[in-house]
């Protein structure tokens, strides 16, 4: 009987630890989500170009800059002219915002059409 109580206590402890870890990651995620944007600066876009290297498009008030970031340094690359409206979801993706099943069907149709087109050539 004592071993059953110990097993139940251990199970409850593990569940509590897992719930606490889940809550803590959500808490940190919410706090860190504001890191990319501040009161006067905002990261408009970013792209990874190598291990620990990325390009950032940063808007500071009315000006936009291209900045290179690596593990060792941050480098000013260029001043960029033009407007960069906030686009959500990614405009480059025709399947953005679609239910997964619809997006999958669309991609499969495209693949089938490409195969048929390749056979015709």
Q: Is the dihedral of CA 99, 32, 60, 54 positive or negative?
A: negative
| Torsion angles phi and psi, residue 98, rounded to 5 | -85, 155
Contact 101, 108 (CB under 8 A): no
Per-residue model confidence as pLDDT tens for the chain (121 residues): 888 899 999 999 999 999 999 888 887 776 655 555 677 888 888 888 888 889 988 888 888 899 999 989 999 999 988 776 654 444 445 555 667 777 777 777 877 777 777 666 6
Output the pLDDT for position 95.
53
Output the pLDDT for position 86.
57
pTM across the whole model: 0.43
Q: Distance (Å, rounded) from C-alpha 7 to C-alpha 16?
A: 14
DSSP secondary structure letters along 58-75: EEETTEEEEEEEESS-EE
Output the pLDDT for position 36.
53
């Amino acid at each position: 009987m004592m071993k059953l109580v110990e097993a139940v206590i251990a199970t409850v402890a593990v569940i509590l630890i897992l719930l606490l870890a889940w809550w803590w990651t959500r808490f940190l995620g919410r706090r860190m989500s504001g890191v990319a944007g501040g009161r006067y600066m905002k990261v408009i876009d970013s792209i990874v170009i190598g291990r620990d290297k990325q390009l950032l498009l940063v808007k500071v008030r009315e000006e936009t800059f291209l900045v290179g970031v690596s593990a060792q340094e941050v480098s000013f690359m260029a001043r960029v002219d033009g407007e960069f409206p906030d686009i959500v979801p990614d405009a480059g993706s025709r399947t953005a915002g679609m239910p997964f099943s619809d997006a999958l069907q669309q991609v499969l149709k495209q693949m089938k059409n490409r195969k048929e087109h390749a056979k015709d050539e």
